[in-house]
Structure 1
Amino acid sequence: MPDSQSQVLFVSQNYPPDRGGNASRTSDTCKHLVEKEDEITVLAPPPAFPHGEFTRSWTRKETYTDEAVRVIRLWAWQPTDSDPSFLSRLAYYLTFPLHALVWLLFNARNYDAMITSSPPIFIYIVGLFWKLLVKKPWIADVRDLWIDASVDLGFISKNGSLERASRAYEGLMLRKADRVSVTTTVLGERLCDQYNLNSEGVVHLPNGVDTDVYEPTNSDTEPEIVYTGNVGYAQALKPCVRAMSTVEHPNARLTIVGDGDIRGELEDVVDEEGLEDRVSFTGLVPREEIPDILDNAAVGIAPLEEDDTFEYAVPTKAYEYMSSELPVVATGVGEIESLIDKSGGGVLAEANSDKLAAVFDALLADEEKREALGKAGRNHVVEHCDREVVAKELSDVLHDVMES
């Protein structure tokens, strides 16, 4: 490792107080990188996610320090509707990297390396500019198959011109990066297959969790089933809500913590099924309150749509539940199945309301099983998925690239 501190620029579309896995991953990773004696600057737009929850800002640039991490907010378009139009989303995704390019023209030489976090894939524009004109190391951190998800959810046409152009663009960008970091092995394999990437340049760095923050207190729990995170199209939340109409435990409740595009649809299901007494929505809550919420719950749910498109995905919330010794009920295929199997920290269920209701009842009725699942999950994430451990691996990759 170099004797002097490295100046690293981390470019991300989301950073707290934005919510969601990307914001928390970026924040925790950067704070742990600072502990590894790197100087970290985060470049991000004003907080805007989930959309509609933040007041729009017109400030061109804002700079502040967040626990030794320097944060620079560059103005970008901020959607104010909870489910923005296509044009509003596109403006949000494009104005930030374009503003970042202008900023880099005057500041790029102050930094030794860049890390970009995607999605959205437009962030790659900043990395390509950096690689071609500044000629310094670039690590592309990829957390999602954004194009696949967009096709599967109907946002862009399958095999259409937009999909083909997007894939050509993403492949070009990733081949220019010095390293591509991925959150799951399946994600890495699919990127290598799609874009002919050299597998030796792809490194696996799981999403992980700060196990010191998400730490159980062994307090008494309520018969509460909890979901925390983005309330979006990729999450199989409707069957979870409908399951509450047939759960037999008299005091069982489902609490959905967070916000997103389909919250309104879920609230309609609650009204249709008459579940106002069994399902509640908190909306956004401060991130620091989430550990206490999980500590008081009995079961955490990590429902993904059962589609091969999402076989690479492991939601950050699953790690947070396990770190809190909360048994996980998950739906989906691929990596989420592997996590449940390897950790022993939960139960995999079908995204079917009756099947989910049966699993919920079985866990709520068996405290001993909940404790066993919780302890197994906690042991797994402490050993393999602690964010300090992940940041150490990223720091090693970063300095290896800089030295070579």
Structure 2
Amino acid sequence: MTRKPQLRNLSVMLLAHYYPPEMGGAAARLHGLARWLVRFGHQVTVVAGMPNYPAGIVPAEYRGRARVCEMIDGVDVLRTWIYASSHQTSLRRLANYFSFVASAIVGGFTAGRHFDVILASSPPLFVGLAGWVLARSYRVPWVFDIRDLWPDVAVEAGEFTPDAALTRWGYRLAQFLYCRADHITPVTENKRQKLLTSGVPSEKLTVVANGVDIDRLTCSTNGSWRVEFGIQDRFIVVYAGLIGIAQGVEVAVEAANALRHRPEIHFLIVGDGVRRADIVRRAEKLRLTNITFLPSQPRETIPAILESADVALVPLKNSQLADAVPSKLLEAWGCKRPVILLAGGEAAHLVNSAQGGVVVPPEEPRCLADAISSLVANRKALQDYGQNGYEFVKAHFEREALARRMEQVLFKVTGRGRA
């Protein structure tokens, strides 16, 4: 008689280039997964770099230290040294990436316990190298979590050209890691299809989408953000997130310029990133008074900011980013905010399926301005879109259920399960 696998909890090492207190969808996804796996009874050790993203500045409590051990929401976090960078140049970006690979391998070797499985999250793609090395050393399986396909996303965003040497090298490294991972968890169905096309077998792929913790999105209803900035009587269009190349936040400034004759409409841009300074300068050059910029805010304040707005803006740089589903889309819906999505592909399909907002072409400020004007005149649609999005997230993107899916992947690759 064949014996069933031993039923027990797992010891998981999670390699995370981005992790709270850093902002952004990557940090939120990985912390959410780690937190839920711990709540399910597993032992999770996160190996992460010193916080520095996106400004490239390490907070004082971490500065000058090679190693920091801490606990966040019940999750053991081992911080390792990293070359801090705001990614102003490709050389600095690569130094940031590879310094974490090296320090994560050292940190993983010296974590002080045995692990059943390694979970490495990309991008950066190079985190997969650390996952592969540590898995071979511990003689355990490893799972490659793919939030974005790299270098595909860099080519689609216009950062790399398809025929560049770095692009070709990136594709070869990606294939090397895909072949050696025991399982791969892309965040969208479109990414799964691309991996299938690249030769990854279907039985090696499980979609584990981004999600939200509805119970943690405790939105304020007192409108304090409106009062603080003297815009309590305005129609507020908010963008809250990273301001990088792929996000295409420039479109908000141009739309604000197109709507400068509508004083009742105000834009609120919250976040930092490599494109922020250029966008602020553009707004100043246009002498716009209908747009306010705020630096990155603590994650726990984002729900209150979203709730204070009338509509959330979710842009992407161009329509080539067809397999991206920004986490800020789900967060806005979790706060019952309607969205204006400037993207195509899978994200547009979700918005249309949920009836949770309006889809307009990316990088088209005139179309964005027209969409905002239409929503100003239709408050009933705003309410319906927000409620529809909320119900859609509750049904399909609750983080607890998605963490359960990741748990099943970990059980599968380790050959273990639990009653």
Task: Provide TM-score, normalisation by structure 2.
Answer: 0.91
From 290, 295, 300, the equivalent of 2:312 is: 300
Counterpart position of 1:68: 74
Cα deviation for residue 267 of structure 1 reads 1.1
Counterpart position of 2:205: 202
AA aligned opposite 1:328: V
From 360, 364, 386, the equivalent of 1:374 is: 386
Cα deviation for residue 137 of structure 1 reads 1.9
Residues 276-304 of structure 1: per-residue CA shift (max 9 Å, x gap): x2111101111110011011110001111
Counterpart position of 1:363: 375
Relative to 1, partners in 2 of residues 1:387 and 1:192: Cα closer, same or farther, differing over 3 Å? same
SS in structure 2 opposite 1:302? strand
Q: Is the 8 A contact 2:220 2:303 kept in 1?
A: no
Is 1:260 aligned to 2:268, yes or no?
A: no
Q: Is the 8 A contact 1:216 1:323 kept in 2?
A: no
SS in structure 2 opposite 1:204? coil
Cα deviation for residue 150 of structure 1 reads 2.2
> What does 1:34-53 correspond to in 2, within 5 Å?
34-53=38-57
From 6, 10, 27, the equivalent of 1:6 is: 10
Counterpart position of 1:241: 253
Counterpart position of 2:402: 390
1:291, 1:218 → 2: CA distance? 10
Cα deviation for residue 107 of structure 1 reads 4.1
After the TM superposition, list the runs of 4 or more consecutive aligned residues in structure 1 that deviate by more than 6 angstroms.
none
SS in structure 1 opposite 2:388? helix
AA aligned opposite 1:355: C
Cα deviation for residue 215 of structure 1 reads 4.7
Structure 1 regions of 5+ residues with no counterpart?
A: none
AA aligned opposite 1:93: Y
**What value does the CA root-mean-square deviation take over the aligned residues?**
1.9
SS in structure 1 opposite 2:216? coil
1:2, 1:334 → 2: CA distance? 43
AA aligned opposite 1:347: V
2:170, 2:238 → 1: CA distance? 36
Is 1:89 aligned to 2:70, yes or no?
A: no
Q: Is the 8 A contact 2:115 2:138 kept in 1?
A: no
Is 1:224 aligned to 2:236, yes or no?
A: yes
1:10, 1:132 → 2: CA distance? 15
Is 1:26 aligned to 2:27, yes or no?
A: no
2:176, 2:335 → 1: CA distance? 40
Structure 2 regions of 5+ residues with no counterpart?
A: 224-231
2:91, 2:168 → 1: CA distance? 20
1:368, 1:218 → 2: CA distance? 19
Counterpart position of 1:166: 170
Identity, % of aligned positions: 29
Residues 297-322 of structure 1: per-residue CA shift (max 9 Å, x gap): 100011112232x1010110000011
SS in structure 2 opposite 1:281? strand
Task: Provide TM-score, normalisation by structure 1.
Answer: 0.94
Is 1:132 aligned to 2:143, yes or no?
A: no
AA aligned opposite 2:216: V
Counterpart position of 2:105: 101
AA aligned opposite 1:306: N
Residues 100-127 of structure 1: per-residue CA shift (max 9 Å, x gap): 2223334486111111111001101112
Q: Is the 8 A contact 2:109 2:134 kept in 1?
A: no
Cα deviation for residue 83 of structure 1 reads 4.9
Counterpart position of 1:287: 299
1:109, 1:219 → 2: CA distance? 47
Counterpart position of 2:264: 251
From 209, 215, 218, the equivalent of 1:212 is: 215
1:146, 1:170 → 2: CA distance? 7
Count of residue pairs brought into register by the alignment: 399
1:393, 1:249 → 2: CA distance? 47
Q: Is the 8 A contact 2:32 2:399 kept in 1?
A: yes
Cα deviation for residue 7 of structure 1 reads 0.8
